[in-house]
Amino acid sequence: MLNEKAVNVPGFGIFSFYYDFQDCGYIGKRVFRKPVFHLSDSFSRCFGVVFPPMKSSGSIPIQSVSFSRISALAGVSRDEVQLSLKDVIRGIGESTRFGINYSL
């Protein structure tokens, strides 16, 4: 997201930006960048979560989470990273389904 690209977390959703252009009179236009989250359809179906659609500002490049890069930085195997992420997503989904707060 630091490179102004959206980030896709497989099985969970996409973290992106909405660009809002506002006219500031004689100063010109200002651009406001607001973070938005798009919940994936598979997460919604699996855990019965209803999430309202968010505004989108066109086509922002989407970059998937790199399990290989995370594993190299963390010093663990790629499979451990992938299983850990799936476990966190499952925990969030199940607690959301039952209305329970989830903390990491």
pLDDT digit string (tens) for 30-46?
A: 777 788 888 888 888 88
Predicted model pTM: 0.66
Of the two residues 88 and 30, the one the predictor is more confident about is: 88
**Residue tagged 């006219």 (tokens):** 23
Shared domain check, 82 and 40: no
Shared domain check, 20 and 55: yes
Nearest to 79 by CA among 89, 87, 71, 91: 71
Q: What is the mean pLDDT of residues 12-17?
A: 85
Shared domain check, 96 and 58: no
3-state helix, strand, coil in the chain (%, to 5): 35, 30, 35
CA atoms of 55 and 27, how far apart (whole Å): 26
- Counting the structural domains of the chain, the total is 2
Residue 8: domain span: 1-64
Shared domain check, 40 and 8: yes
Number of H helices and E strands in the chain, helices first, is 3, 4
pLDDT digit string (tens) for 45-54?
A: 888 887 776 6
